[in-house]
Amino acid sequence: MRLFRKLLWALPLFALVSMFLYGRKQEDSTSVKAPALKDSELCDPCLEERQDACSDPCATEPQTKAYDQGYGICENDLPKAYSAPGRIDVCGGIDAFVTGSFICWEPLGDQLDLGTARFASLTPVELDLVKFKTNYEPGFKVGLGFNLNHDNWDLFAQYTRFHETETTRYTPRTRDSNDSIISSWFILDPLPAVFSDISGDIVAVWKTELDKIDLELARSYYLGAKLIARPFIGGSVHWLDQRYEFSLTESSVLQETSIKNASWALGPRFGLGSSYLIYKGFRIFGYGAISLLFSENEISGSGNEDSTAYILSKVDKYILRDVEELMIGLGWGSYFTRKKWHMDLSVAYEAQRYARTNYMSYIAQLNLEANEVKAGDFYLHGLTVTARFD
């Protein structure tokens, strides 16, 4: 009887020991059995490109990173739930980069046309809108950036300079006394000027000086095996000075007017950049930014019409100005000298819009219109060629 009781006490203990040993056996079997590689995985080009982490010149201790940061990766290289850093990461030295861009942009603007020519001597009567014409002009950008230690962010500042002078000359098709031109630029004498009284050409000159500084706090990260995003937030400040001069000689008297708009703007700026990695360092990239800036516009001018000189007293106009920027292009980059240097080259089409900048025409048209007109916008578009060195 006592033996039977001892066996009853031992049965639960025996069951617990058996379950423990069975669990250890299962763990050992799963750890020993490695999944067999499929033929497709053995041919995976990503597997062939992976190198031994111990050969990484940047490594001070064994590393597990099996890809070049900032370039294409394999699907399983990173955890799918983490936005792994995708910025350029060189070894040693100063963790900074510099950029330089050559720009060839065409300036455009609202309300810059010379006026409307009316040919009453023709049948039927013809009207010509005398447009102000512009050309592509050179400029440049320079930038300096730093890679921050905190969560792989980077800080980037860029200066843009674009100064240009555009001239349009209009030669009347006839010198008939029935034909004339009317322009909104004349303030004291807004009546039509008869072509028979005009000698030489009608000339308009538009001078623009844009100086702009942008500051970006950004983080580049992988959105896919070949897609890297770079959202950013920061600020922008620009100085935009414009002058419009309009002149003609009527009855041997010079009629001219000159109006200037000196403007500055300051405020927040944010946007998103992205790169799709194609092949061997080549990529297609896009970039978009928007700013909402507080702006001061100082308008002044002078002129001489009908032998009467005048001065336009300074007028200050305060507004909120929105600025939009878009860029799309093709780039190539590569690491050099065992990842101690990195070079990147790109070519892109870029477009920018600066809202409510032409207060020169705004003042001139107030002289003719009963209702106040909206100040015109300023546009830039053209080619941007950039080099970056890390």
For the chain, give the percent of residues with pLDDT over 70.
78
Among 149, 146, 170, 169, residue whose Cα is nearest residue 158: 146
3-state SS assignment for residue 85? strand
Q: Which strands make up the sheet holding 115-119, listed edge to edge?
A: 126-130, 115-119, 179-182, 193-194
* Segment (H or E) for 14: helix 2-32
Strand partners, 32: none
The topology (CATH level 3) of 96-389 is Lipocalin (2.40.128)
User: What does the longest C-alpha to C-alpha distance in the chain come to?
Assistant: 140
Residue 375's pLDDT band, with cuts at 50, 70 and 90, is confident
Question: What's the DSSP call for residue 76?
Answer: T
| pLDDT-derived band at 182, boundaries 50, 70, 90 | confident
Q: Which amino acid is at 177?
A: S
Q: Is 114 helix (H, G, I), strand (E, B) or coil?
A: coil
Interval 266-323: pLDDT, tens? 999 999 999 999 988 899 999 999 999 999 999 998 988 888 888 888 889 999 999 9
- pLDDT for residue 275: 95
Q: For residue 37, what pLDDT band results from cuts at 50, 70 and 90?
A: very low
Q: What is the CA radius of gyration of the chain?
A: 34
- Sequence-ordered strand ranges (E) for the chain: 96-109, 115-119, 126-130, 137-147, 153-170, 179-182, 193-194, 198-219, 221-222, 227-250, 253-279, 282-305, 308-336, 341-358, 376-389
Residues 172-187 have a mean pLDDT of: 86
Count the neighbouring beta carbons within 10 Å of the beta carbon of residue 384.
20
Q: Give the tens place of pLDDT for each residue, 155-175.
A: 999 999 999 999 999 999 888
Q: Cβ distance 202 to 114 under 8 Å?
A: yes
**Of 287, 281, 263, 279, whose CA–CA distance to 354 is shortest?**
263
Which pLDDT value is given to residue 30? 42
CA angle 311, 314, 320 (to 5 degrees): 145
Q: State yes or no: cis peptide before 85, omega within 30 of 0.
A: no
Is it the case that residue 382 has pLDDT exceeding 80?
yes
> The tokens 């080009």 sit on which residue?
45
Position 285 scores a pLDDT of 97
pLDDT digits (tens, 9 = 90+) for 223-238: 888 999 999 999 999 9
Q: For residue 30, what is the enclosing H or E element?
A: helix 2-32
Q: Would you say residue 360 has pLDDT above 90?
A: no
3-class DSSP state of 1: coil
